[in-house]
A and B are shown apart, each in its own frame.
Chain A
Amino acid sequence: MKPELFTKDTTAIVYGYHVNAIQRMLDFDYACGRKTPSVAAIVNPGSEGVHKVFFGKGEVLLPIYKNFGAAAKGHPKADVVVNFASFRSAFDSSMEALNHPNIRTVAVIAEGVPERRARILAATARKLDKMVIGPATVGGIKAGCFKIANTAGTYENIVESKLHRPGSVGFVSKSGGLSNECYNIIARNTDGLYEGIAIGGDAYPGSTLLDHILRYEAIPAVKMIVALGEIGGTEELRIVEALKAKKITKPLVIWVTGTCSKMFPAGVQFGHAGAKAGSDLETADAKNAALKAAGAIVPDSFDDYGVKVNETYEKLVKKGVIKPAEDIPAPALPLDFAQAMKEGKIRKATTFINTISNEKKEELEYLNIPISKVLEKELGIGGVIGLLWFKRELPDYGRRFLETALILCADHGPAVSGAHNAIVAARAGKDIISSLVSGLLTIGPRFGGAIDGAAQEFKRAYDAKLTPEQFISDMKRKGVPIPGIGHRVKSVTNPDMRVTQMKAFCKKNFKSTQLLDYALEVEKLTTAKKGNLILNVDGCIGISFVDMLHSTGSFSKDEIDDIVNMGCLNALFVVARSIGLFGHIFDQKRLKQPLYRTPYDEIAYMTEL
């Protein structure tokens, strides 16, 4: 294959939705002054769409494909695959990419690809005259042209190590972490990197140190080669053979790490899977000695590595082989929002405020009380409503009052407008939420609104110090019935047991029942006129609710006004009645009731009107 893998126009398909790596590739593109992003498309198995990413100061969209085939078809010029697939799927996805005619180079990032699979990958690439970098690698970089995935880390580091423009040095190592270190060493000791590849630390990398050294030998712009070998395997001995056979003629600075192994007990497995000396030939000392004997430039220890690189470079400059590459300043990359925030360089006004709950804590909290404590203290639904609606931990009687109200309001039979509508919607085959809201949407001034209305009107009258008589005549003058007064069947002589019980509960538990007492005075007057003009259950709930808030002593007058005016009582009714509406909806579904039509005899056709 051609020795050059990448140019300034090379584009890649990234397999796996790795947004940080993709952003870093495009940031590098910006540093290099590339015209087009180096990522042509993303393959994200199982989903498709677009991914928005920064390209310099602006943003671009990268298409996301469900599978590799579609991505390759849509982007025939992309000849590199950066494969982030996990160790489980890396082999199959890499083979698919290798076998595609568009693709020349596959970089396999995953660690833990089985050796046999890696060997098949390597042999397949050789058969097809293609290149595999990895597995278990960070990738590689061609200065000023193309960068694989997370290679060379941050933008700052890329610029520091002069990777945004080509120098004269070809580099190859096993380790990805060290390759970045070596780019730094090369930048400080030469005119910079031309290309660097990390082949990965596995026993059987898809391409070898020698493969890349021979490529650098064939690329005229590479004037010297720097490499880092490692204990284990015989790869460096193949480099020795190539040196002896004069297949490598450019100066080669190389160091094999792992010289400490002779001090260790046998069989220590170093950080890389391939880093274990199987025989004396595979030790670092043996390989360093053989390389030196074959003509490579080998330092005495890693401490001198940079020194040897520098000496070699200076010699080539002196000979005129290298004309030092010019330093080109890289454009400043706009600071990332998150990074700038973290560094305290910018601030941002928020758009929302939340004061009731927090899911970002170690445990979900309602009003700063961890959910486990809410359960432990048995706050119940009433307590939770207190925390989330009124931002108070209500006393026991307050919680029980709210729960009683929920129980009392949960349902009122199928005939009322809410239940009727929910039933009709359920029978029309609608889902439960549509059915629920078609019932809820009838709640208002005429249906279910009495609780809220009673609380508001009675409170207004009481606060304005109207006598019960003044209140009644005031309402009469306005021509509106008093909310919370009156019942269809119940009367003074046939009292509503729900109201009787609730009154008793409030009298027994509340510190003050001033509004209820006031309402009962009003009731005395109205029932004197007509027996069924009693304080009904809606009125009783709404009015007692205000007394309950007063009794706790923890709400100011303004807060109570706010709570009533915001419509909290309506909300209480909605929550309660949702239980009943669901009951009716499930009832209809369980009974498999067909579509409802209003019978003709229910409708008077009077079209002539």
Chain B
Amino acid sequence: MAQRGIREYEGKKILFTGLARHLPSFKGKAGKLAPVRPDTDPKKLVKDNPWLLKEKLVAKPDQLFGKRGKHGLLCLNKDFKETWAWIAERMGKTVTVGKTTGGLHTFLIEPFTPHSENAEECYVAIKAFRDHDTIYLSDKGGIYVEENWEKVKETEVPILSRIEDVKLNMPEFGKRKGQIEEFVRALYKVYAEGHFTYLEINPFTFKGDEIVPLDLVARVDDTAAFECAKIWGDLEFPSSFGQHHTKEEEFIRSIDEKTGASLKLTMLNPDGRVWNMVAGGGASVIYADTVCDLGFSKDLANYGEYSGDPSEEDTYQYARTILDLMTRKKDPKGKVLIIGGGIANFTDVAKTFKGIIRALKEYQKKLVEGNVKIYVRRGGPNYKEGLANMRKLGETLGVPIEVYGPETHMTAVVSMALNPAPAKAPGRPVRAGGKK
């Protein structure tokens, strides 16, 4: 749950509807947005959007990346037939944008608005900060905004203020000044009520007296979904460009969405030797840090966490998924599983460990075959029972399990697992330092 990028198509839909409400004079191009996906039927698209056959069009990929013009991914001023051919040629193709490579699968078609780049492209963006939102405005929009950043005028809107009470810092817009100011104030209202955290229109231009937003980048706060059901509609949160979720990541995400607890999994290297199954949003980061700090970042297979007192069943499913992934391929050096965590406040350690133990028993054979070593460190409610159960499992599982509690520094098991230092007796817990 956090700030999430949304497609230009969805962003513009929210924008146009919102502007129409706050700015009666705004006509925009409301309704003239045609999304194209691999399964889109051109006949139906045209039937639903008759304007496609009447106007000159713009088409572009709609997958959360910018600088589309620079990468030749912009189709300008063409009729529908040419536009469709242009999309068809690119649909499903792999492209590299900046450092990221990914497949193209979603495009957006809009009416083409003729304008001259120099005079008529303006820039507006709104960004959230802790105490205020900042509105950025420039009369030099489009590709020129970055090189002309000093010309951008900034206005801070304090979080407790109404936009009506804030004086806008305006660049030299000449005769359009009043109209643009009205537009920006309405834009801010759409931004605030839609729980946007970033909204950039670069550029917006003019068609006669009308303001026409061209390219849009938007992020919203997905935790506001419960407040924004009406404004957002059925809003999709796509993965960032080039990012693929494996079947297992999707599976864990589906469990995560169904429970009040938290379950996360990100695959980093499926062939990695070091697997983490760590409790806690904060602790999980530290375990990953420590693996990297010890120089084993290339061996780190996954990032993930479970927290918020998940049920035994959910913990079982989570553990099972990781065990399945880590025992698919063998490594000549064997593999390491770290069942780590801090001292829980209210997560029941015995209960969550029950789920993990069930999964470990189920994968016993594969764990033995894969030469897996297991290190456990945990504290919190019922931890003694949980740790005792783990030790007991160690007697029969057939792979070594070393089990530690709060008396051992949280991340000490990482160095034990990866780098059994010859100076220390093997398996002896590294004390949390200092006196007892």
Q: Interface 1/0s, chain B 143-161, versus A by CB < 8 A? A: 0000000000000001110
Q: Interface 1/0s, chain A 112-151, versus B by CB < 8 A? A: 1111110110111001000000000010000000000011
Tell me whether B346 and A150 are in contact (CB under 8 A).
yes
Given contacts A114-B224, A184-B406, A259-B293, contact A153 B342 (CB under 8 A): no
Q: Tell which of A3-11, A40-48, A266-274, A493-501 binds the partner.
A: A266-274
A371 to B285, CA, bound (A): 48
Tell me whether A114 and B286 are in contact (CB under 8 A).
no
Tell me whether A173 and B282 are in contact (CB under 8 A).
yes
Tell me whether A153 and B346 are in contact (CB under 8 A).
yes
Tell me whether B293 and A303 are in contact (CB under 8 A).
yes
A150 to B381, CA, bound (A): 11
- Chain B residue numbers with a CB within 8 Å of A176 are 282, 345
Tell me whether A271 and B344 are in contact (CB under 8 A).
no
Q: Interface 1/0s, chain B 315-353, versus A by CB < 8 A? A: 000000000000000000000000001111110000000
- Whether B75 sits at the interface, judged by CB under 8 Å, is no
- Chain A residue numbers with a CB within 8 Å of B3 are 115, 203
- Whether B412 sits at the interface, judged by CB under 8 Å, is yes
Q: What is the total number of residues of chain A having a CB less than 8 Å from a CB of chain B?
A: 75
Within 8 A of B (CB), among A536-578: none
Within 8 A of B (CB), among A299-333: 300-303, 306-307, 309-310, 313
- Whether A419 sits at the interface, judged by CB under 8 Å, is no
Tell me whether A300 and B293 are in contact (CB under 8 A).
yes
Tell me whether B289 and A302 are in contact (CB under 8 A).
yes
Within 8 A of A (CB), among B227-263: 227, 240, 243, 262
- Whether A83 sits at the interface, judged by CB under 8 Å, is no
- Chain A residue numbers with a CB within 8 Å of B289 are 257-260, 284, 301-302
A556 to B346, CA, bound (A): 55
Task: Report A246 CB to chain B, min CB distance, Å.
Answer: 24
Within 8 A of A (CB), among B356-388: 379-381, 385
Tell me whether A153 and B2 are in contact (CB under 8 A).
no
Tell me whether B343 and A157 are in contact (CB under 8 A).
yes
A273 to B223, CA, bound (A): 10
- Whether A105 sits at the interface, judged by CB under 8 Å, is no
Q: Which of B224, B285, B432 is close to A275, meaning CB atoms less than 8 Å apart?
A: B285
- Whether B314 sits at the interface, judged by CB under 8 Å, is no
Interface size grouping (class) on chain B: 35 or more
Tell me whether B291 and A119 are in contact (CB under 8 A).
no
- Chain B residue numbers with a CB within 8 Å of A87 are 223, 226
The B interface is mostly helix, strand or loop, or mixed, namely mixed
- Chain B residue numbers with a CB within 8 Å of A266 are 100
Tell me whether B195 and A301 are in contact (CB under 8 A).
no
- Whether B436 sits at the interface, judged by CB under 8 Å, is yes
Tell me whether B282 and A263 are in contact (CB under 8 A).
no
Centre residue among B159, B264, B414 by max chain A CB count within 10 A: B159
Q: Which of B223, B284, B285, B411 is close to A303, meaning CB atoms less than 8 Å apart?
A: B411
- Chain A residue numbers with a CB within 8 Å of B240 are 267
- Chain A residue numbers with a CB within 8 Å of B192 are 116
Tell me whether A122 and B433 are in contact (CB under 8 A).
no
- Whether B89 sits at the interface, judged by CB under 8 Å, is no
Query: What are 13 A-B contacts with C-beta separation under 8 Å?
Result: A87-B226, A88-B226, A115-B197, A117-B224, A173-B282, A177-B283, A230-B282, A260-B292, A263-B297, A268-B303, A271-B262, A301-B293, A313-B434
Taking Cβ atoms with an 8 Å cutoff, the residues of B that contact A are 1-3, 100, 128, 130-131, 158-160, 192, 195, 197, 221, 223-224, 226-227, 240, 243, 262, 264, 266, 268, 279-286, 288-294, 297, 300, 303, 305, 307-308, 341-346, 379-381, 385, 406, 409-412, 414-415, 432-436
Closest 5 CB pairs of A and B: A271-B281, A175-B282, A181-B342, A177-B280, A189-B434
